[in-house]
Structure 1
Amino acid sequence: MSWNYRVLQHLDHDGDPYYEIHEVYYSKDGAIEGWTANSVGPAGSDPRS
C-alpha cells in the first residue's frame, strides 16, 4: 500500500466548499483505498492560497 498527501474538497453546513490536506492511501493497483478522517495540515477556503 502506498500513500501521499492530497487536497480534498469538503462542504460546510451551508453547502460552501472548503479544502483540507489529507493522507490518501492506495492499493497495489493504484486505486484509492481511503483517506484520513482528520486533515493533516493547513486548511483554507481556497486551494490556491
Structure 2
Amino acid sequence: MVRDQGIGVKQEDKEKLFERFYLPYSNNTISGFGIGLYLSAEIIERHDGEI
C-alpha cells in the first residue's frame, strides 16, 4: 500500500499532472520545473505500461 503524506492536489489539477512544465502550485514554497512526472509517464509509456 502507498500512502501520500503530501499537501495534496486539487481535483481540477489531476488531469494536468503529467503535462510537461505543469506546476499545480502557485506559491513560492515548492520549487521545481514541472518535468518529473512528465518524464516518469513517458518512460512508463515507452515500456508499454500505464499510469
Report the structure, 1 or 2, having the larger strand content: 1
Higher relative contact order (CA 8 A, sep 6+): 1
* Structure-1-length-normalised TM-score: 0.18
Report the structure, 1 or 2, having the larger helix content: 2
* Structure-2-length-normalised TM-score: 0.18
